[in-house]
Structure 1
Amino acid sequence: MPSSVTATLAPMVGTGRTETTLDDLLDEVRSYTPADAVPAAERLIRRAAELAERAHDGQRRLTGEPFVQHPISVALMLANLHLDPDTVAAALLHDCVEDTSVDIGTIRSRFGSGVAELVDGVTKLDDITVVSLDDRQAQNLRKVFLAMARDIRVVLIKLADRLHNLQTAHVYRPEKRERYASDTLEIFAPLAGRLGIEEWRWQLEDHAFKLLEPERYREIASWLLAERAAREDVVQAVTGGLRDALDTAGTDALIQSRIKHVYSIEQKTQRKNVPLEEVYDILAVRVIVDDVHDCYSALGVVHGAWRHIPAEFDDYISAPKENGYRSLHTAVLGPDARPIEIQIRTHEMHAASEYGVAAHWRYKAGDHDGEEDFSEKLAWVRQILTWQADEETAGSFVDAVKTDFFSDTVFVFTPRGEIKDFPAGSTPLDFAYRIHTDIGHTCIGAKVNGRLVPLEYQLQNGDVLEILTSSNSQGPSRNWVSLVHTAHARDKIRQWFKRRQRAENIESGKELLERELRRLGQGRISQLPGEGLQPVAADLGYRDVDSLLAGVGYGATTVPQVINRLKLTEEVEEADVEPLPAEQPSVRDVQPLVRVLGVGNLLTRVASCCNPLPGDEIVGFITRGHGISVHRMNCANVQNVREPERLVEVEWGGQLVGADLDLPIRLGACCKPRPGMKINGIAADQGIEVHRSRCRAGSRLPGARVRVWWIDETSQLLPVQILIQADDREGLTHDVTGVIRDEGLNITSANVHTNRQRQATMRITVGMGSVGQMARLMRRLETIPSVYSVARDTAGVRRNRSREAAARRNGQ
């Protein structure tokens, strides 16, 4: 693949159209067809071209060129993917039934049922026009899905048809042009990406973007061309250095380079809220090797040659994307500290990434009839983790329908016409739990196509399914576990029974403990002094009081164990809430992080009792001789402080923000930006004022706009304890630590406790730089299978202080 920027932009910047001929098409087909099959392939394609030319005789496109140019161009696009002769012939004939007098019977009699079914499938998709999301869900996507269930090549022809039409869509009426381009971005480009045909995806995106925002498109394209020479110098330096390093390591590799396409650059400017000049990571290098072992060897060479960016590493070889894409992705700081993406893959992986799903249909000798089982032609990883579309992408075709296109998948419809896909063998209960957990729990029956069916009924393609629920339902029956087919539904049912048993155990534990408390003259649990049972729960390793009571109820913890710790808690209670002693053994100097308001330049330290992070609301406490300890606003020690006059107002300091100008920095009081938020800087006489990017007051301030950014979160790491609760299983700890490692974070301590019910409680301390970084990690941890709760935890710190106070009491 050429590194030239011009080569990348050529299909988009209007370099002139050339006429595609039948000879061009036949030359391409000959290039990949086995020699013994070339004569038959040529005869089929010539006959299809002759019929197309006669059928479209006299017809012209809006551009003025003969209409037959369109089907020939579409056929050539499919031939470029090395598709079989039936698909190429169907592409030549795809408009005949709709736009001419030729009917599907004529095509079947002259070219066979294989070609006829493809043409018929494309004809039935030709009315796909997205007027609204409802239309897309109710009717048009139904046709797309049913076509896919039968033959994916129908959709490939439709995508090629769309791509070629986009190249001349500038002649459409403005309203039609805008709708056509919007349809492309919402449906067809994501679909091409889902099918793994990345070149088609970016061409669809760029052509559509050019139609929707021509001025912005030209601005980005011109900027890319203007910077071409400088970028190609960087590419040459990187590829040359990489070639030398790989040769030294004895790794044989093909090295290619490219730049990112126009629409992806526009998305990056929007996502990062930066101008074009600040988009640096637009260069990408591919390293193509012989086998998987060489992939990881090459990765070591790359990381040894340049400083890599840990957050930008992805291993799609061990964990392929949902469309089957496999590759190693990393990013390094190249010349002038420019980020450069490097992809490492085998030749086989590269072919799959170039051809996508079409790679499974590439023409092979001995496979002329195309009757190989469809599931053997697709090698896709089923998406099972996300059950609802993300709010930001809810309008996209792929996320709205979540199809995996396997032949063992059934597509059913809600009463509103929405499409849902399930593994073959799924039942109405699988459907109910997919919609919402509460729908599943309260399900009392189901109707399919208007008729009542048993809950064990197996869903069929095209079923319209209605779930019947009742607020009086007693919940799932135990035999439901054997009725459902999906792991998602099975897990939800099991969790319901665990929680139900948990409630019974809590009640039993409460009764046992209060019986003993009454015997000792202590009254009820609610009458216990201080925090009651919370310190005892923390000391025994439970996440909360209810978990402790459940443990007593099912026998994991005895009543005497609880009573003894209640006495211990009473003995050290005063010491445990001693407000902020003068000597805090577990605080660290982080003066650059915090600014004290109205007091001057005092030493500030982060308190270990609550471990505040940049982004938390904080307050300072003036200690005796040790500066100011900084606490979270809701810290228990702050709430119980005996000398409130020693509390002072503090805020995360300007040192967290970097700027292009060396001026004092202050955070806007109107919007109070916090680390991780998108920010803008406005320069004035007094310095730079930082506001959230969407702050209206900030946008109206006079002064020059200055580039500002949050300083690297990892520059000052503070300990944060994360509490994870999950159903225990093999590999759970490995998965949790893997996510933390992938985030580029360091684990400083970890404790795992599993009770008799195989429920795991993990307390992991991780060094972090901001609340935003913590939130990202917690969101990722929540996606791990069997994890049902992730929270920031301070109980461990409180428990340790309780033990330290007890030790001091005992003179240890």
Structure 2
Amino acid sequence: MIDVEDLVELVRNYNPRSNSDLIRGAYAYGKAMHEGQFRHSGEPYFTHPVEVAALLTEQQMDDATIATALLHDTIEDTKSTYAEVADRFGEEIAGLVDGVTKLTNLELSSTETRQAENFRKLLMAMSKDLRVLLVKLADRLHNMRTIKHMRPEKQVQKAHETMEIYAPLAGRMGMQWMRDELEDLAFSVLNSEARNSIMRRFLRLQKDTGDVIPRITGDIRDVLEKQGVEAQVFGRAKKPYSVWRKMQEKELSFSRLSDIYAFRVITRSEDDCYAVLGAIHRRWRAVPGRFKDYISQPKTNGYRSIHTTVSGRDGKRVEIQIRTREMHEVAEAGVAAHWSYRDGERVENPFAVDPAKWLESLTDRFLASDDHDEFLEHVKLEMFADQVFCFTPKGEVVKLPRGATPIDFAYAIHTRIGDSCVGSRVDGLRVPLWTRLRNGQSVEITTAEGQRPQATWMDIAVTGRARSAIRRSLREEHRDRFAKLGRELARVAFEHVGKKATDKALRTAAKALGLKDAEELLARLGSAELSGNAVVAALYPELKKQAKPESVEPTRAVIGLRQDQNSQRARCCQPVPGERIVGITYRGRGVVVHAIDCPALVEFEDQPDRWVDLHWHDGTHAPAYSVTLDVTMVNDAGVLGRICTLIGEQKANISDMQFTDRKPDFYRMSIDVEVRDVEHLHNVLTALEADSDVAALERLRDVERKP
């Protein structure tokens, strides 16, 4: 593990004015909080926050970010609290640590709807302070570097999450080196055979041809010396995942791939960049269609560079990137370059993007959709897209992903233009709407009043914005027809399990599925975007499940107790498996288990010696955890019996019930229900909430009830 003084020195190397006492204090506090905790590898847990901090020193981050890295798991995994961190290190650092904790708690690899909603939350957390995401990315990178110590199924889950969310985010932020490494680490988990095959072919190629990188690097340096341009030249082989992706996209074998090496030329000025480009194109033949000038047309994350591919030594294709030192800093650090230092001073890199403006441009597009699936599709399309730049007839630049069509161009200007599009002209010539646009083309859209989007446009459009708008328009056009059909399908599906598809049941199902309202649910049901079984399962999952044998309850449901300690659930919050918990010791009574958000814990904040770090065991629990429900229902014949039946159908047992208020039209009562875990409780609540005669329902948590 890196020693505190070594870490302090790493920061001083780029920031001599660093607050070393702050970093030492964060190091000591984090180490004390994580004392006794270990990683899957057997190493002390604190080695992880230290490595995350070290990764951020490579990006020359400020003191607050380094301190946050050292503390980023304290609120989540130790007895530390937000208030204590704020008191010791200030509100700025406490806010950053809390932001990282919230990102950690998002289940980004869960179902599509939940994943989309959590990704929204991730973007909102980023929007407060981008440094939260920088710490989280460094955290994920170190976890991926040490992923072999996790369980195989956990490795696959984290690798998918990394490939779909964190690697594209790093790329979008301009941190291409991190994206490449994250993708390659995830690739080694998800398709280790393919990665090993590419590595073997690299070794065989090197054995057959020798190490070509020094030779080509030397050739480029010779050309630049003759031209009188001062520059640095670097070369590298591309990452295995990058090679594999290119093989898949172009449907080529490894032996037919020509540009598996990349070279970078770092110059002193922008004029030198174009001088280098001219010298290289005079020396070697440029490959048509492989030239991009991101200096004159920068990417939205501030990336600037010239890319060209030439036929180099022995006819091999060589990709060359040309940029200045300042451009290179942005290319390496991306949006993080905003916080960078040079020669011990905080510098204003003229090419670094303002993080606030970058986040605004990102979130405005991503958060515009009110549909979960469309939102996630939009995110993934935008994340992975390489850009092309086209012009309106007035000369304004429109940025689009590679492969975009005039339909995408029209919607990029305005939804109204896209909806009424009937034709397009590219560079003055009339072209079909499915034409793929190229860099530098001028595009003119022809519109007509009364035109509506066509279903075939879904096969033409590429951008999430266009596809979302087309889908929304088509759905509205057919909404009434789909809704009528959907209501009939819902009726049949509900009758199949002995239930009625009442308006309230449909509204509750829509809420459970993350849809806007019952009409949205019926329209999706009628358009076959949603099945009747899925709607029923959202309300009555126990009726749709096949009975599964439950595993035997182990001797201890709560993990973290000493052998001589017993535990009991707190009556005030009634925690159940699946909820985060903490224990409070009582003399002669053992440990009382509270939910982590129980208000009763406030009175123990100044007694840290009584707190015990606990968690539920991972297996299946027996339905033996009593939870009190506060139910207000219609005073009518058969209502109470139906409510008891609904609870029984969810495989939950009623252990006690009592009326708390009787009125001529409504009864209010508390019902003690025994459940397995928080998911089981959610199923019971959803089934009850869907009943038309249940006016109000909530889980009762009473801080006045003694533990």
TM-score if structure 1 supplies the norm length? 0.47
Alignment of 1:368-379 (within 5 A): 376-377=354-355
Counterpart among 66, 70, 83 of residue 92 in structure 1: 70
Q: CA separation in 1, counterparts of 2:209 and 2:124?
A: 46
Partner of 1:22: 4
1:62 aligns with 2:44: no
1:276 aligns with 2:254: yes
One-letter code aligned to 2:72? H
Alignment of 1:278-317 (within 5 A): 278-317=256-295
1:319 aligns with 2:297: yes
Compared CA separation, residues 335 and 378, structure 1 to 2 (3 A) = farther
Counterpart among 433, 442, 445 of residue 787 in structure 1: 445
Counterpart among 429, 439, 442 of residue 762 in structure 1: 429
Partners of 1:357 and 1:378 within 8 A in 2: no
Q: Which runs of 5+ in 1 are unaligned?
A: 1-18, 383-402, 423-484, 500-723, 727-735, 738-760, 765-773, 790-812
Task: Give deviations 1:103-139, integer Å, cap 9, x for gaps.
Answer: 011111111111111000001111222112211112x
Partner of 2:536: none
Shift of 1:234: 2.7
Partner of 1:121: 99
Compared CA separation, residues 261 and 781, structure 1 to 2 (3 A) = closer
Q: CA separation in 2, counterparts of 1:88 and 1:488?
A: 42
1:488 aligns with 2:414: yes
Task: Give deviations 1:686-711, integer Å, cap 9, x for gaps.
Answer: xxxxxxxxxxxxxxxxxxxxxxxxxx
Partner of 2:116: 137
Partners of 1:288 and 1:344 within 8 A in 2: yes
Partners of 2:130 and 2:355 within 8 A in 1: no
Alignment of 1:435-450 (within 5 A): none
1:74 aligns with 2:41: no
Partner of 1:243: 221
Partner of 1:43: 21
Partners of 2:258 and 2:316 within 8 A in 1: yes
Partner of 2:244: 266
Q: CA separation in 2, counterparts of 1:419 and 1:96?
A: 33
Greater mean deviation of Cα atoms: 20-29 or 104-113: 20-29
Alignment of 1:479-518 (within 5 A): 487-489=413-415, 491-492=417-418
Compared CA separation, residues 366 and 288, structure 1 to 2 (3 A) = closer
Q: CA separation in 1, counterparts of 2:95 and 2:44?
A: 26
Task: Give deviations 1:71-94, integer Å, cap 9, x for gaps.
Answer: 000011111100000000001000
One-letter code aligned to 1:786? E
Shift of 1:280: 2.3
Shift of 1:283: 0.8
Q: CA separation in 2, counterparts of 1:93 and 1:26?
A: 15
1:337 aligns with 2:263: no
Compared CA separation, residues 488 and 183, structure 1 to 2 (3 A) = same
Q: CA separation in 1, counterparts of 2:365 and 2:355?
A: 15
Q: CA separation in 1, counterparts of 2:441 and 2:370?
A: 26
**Equivalent pairs, count:** 410
Q: Give 3-state SS (helix, strand or coil) of 2:271's partner.
A: helix
1:191 aligns with 2:169: yes
Compared CA separation, residues 404 and 93, structure 1 to 2 (3 A) = same
Partners of 1:361 and 1:377 within 8 A in 2: no
Q: Give 3-state SS (helix, strand or coil) of 2:361's partner.
A: coil
Partner of 2:525: none
Partner of 2:87: 109
Partners of 1:412 and 1:420 within 8 A in 2: no
Shift of 1:491: 3.9
Shift of 1:315: 1.0
Shift of 1:781: 8.7
Partners of 2:22 and 2:67 within 8 A in 1: yes
Compared CA separation, residues 492 and 44, structure 1 to 2 (3 A) = same
Partners of 1:198 and 1:354 within 8 A in 2: yes
Compared CA separation, residues 337 and 366, structure 1 to 2 (3 A) = closer
Counterpart among 323, 327, 333 of residue 349 in structure 1: 327
Q: Give 3-state SS (helix, strand or coil) of 1:311's partner.
A: coil
Partner of 1:209: 187
Q: CA separation in 1, counterparts of 2:144 and 2:217?
A: 34
Q: Which runs of 5+ in 2 are unaligned?
A: 379-410, 448-707
Partners of 1:196 and 1:324 within 8 A in 2: yes
Q: CA separation in 2, counterparts of 1:76 and 1:108?
A: 23
Compared CA separation, residues 137 and 103, structure 1 to 2 (3 A) = same
* Structure of higher CA gyration radius: 1
Compared CA separation, residues 337 and 409, structure 1 to 2 (3 A) = closer
Partners of 1:411 and 1:420 within 8 A in 2: no
Partners of 1:410 and 1:421 within 8 A in 2: no
RMSD: 3.3
Compared CA separation, residues 725 and 143, structure 1 to 2 (3 A) = closer
Partners of 1:330 and 1:341 within 8 A in 2: yes
Compared CA separation, residues 124 and 725, structure 1 to 2 (3 A) = closer
One-letter code aligned to 1:113? E
1:173 aligns with 2:151: yes
Task: Give deviations 1:173-203, integer Å, cap 9, x for gaps.
Answer: 2221111101110001001000111111111
Alignment of 1:562-601 (within 5 A): none
Partners of 2:71 and 2:97 within 8 A in 1: yes
Shift of 1:359: 0.3
Partner of 1:582: none
Alignment of 1:517-556 (within 5 A): none
Counterpart among 32, 47, 54 of residue 14 in structure 2: 32
Shift of 1:362: 1.8
Q: CA separation in 2, counterparts of 1:301 and 1:203?
A: 32
Task: Give deviations 1:476-519, integer Å, cap 9, x for gaps.
Answer: xxxxxxxxx994146458x68xx8xxxxxxxxxxxxxxxxxxxx
Q: CA separation in 1, counterparts of 2:82 and 2:52?
A: 20
Q: Give 3-state SS (helix, strand or coil) of 2:297's partner.
A: coil
Partner of 2:370: 414
One-letter code aligned to 2:260? I
Partners of 2:424 and 2:443 within 8 A in 1: no
Q: Percent identity at matched positions?
A: 39
Shift of 1:779: 4.2
Q: CA separation in 2, counterparts of 1:266 and 1:362?
A: 33
TM-score if structure 2 supplies the norm length? 0.53
Q: CA separation in 1, counterparts of 2:201 and 2:424?
A: 50
Compared CA separation, residues 347 and 277, structure 1 to 2 (3 A) = same
Shift of 1:421: 13
Q: CA separation in 1, counterparts of 2:228 and 2:279?
A: 10
One-letter code aligned to 1:353? A
Q: Give 3-state SS (helix, strand or coil) of 1:301's partner.
A: helix
Alignment of 1:599-638 (within 5 A): none
Q: CA separation in 2, counterparts of 1:160 and 1:280?
A: 33
One-letter code aligned to 1:25? L
Partner of 1:699: none
One-letter code aligned to 2:112? L
Task: Give deviations 1:19-61, integer Å, cap 9, x for gaps.
Answer: 433343222201110x3x23x2x11111001011000001000
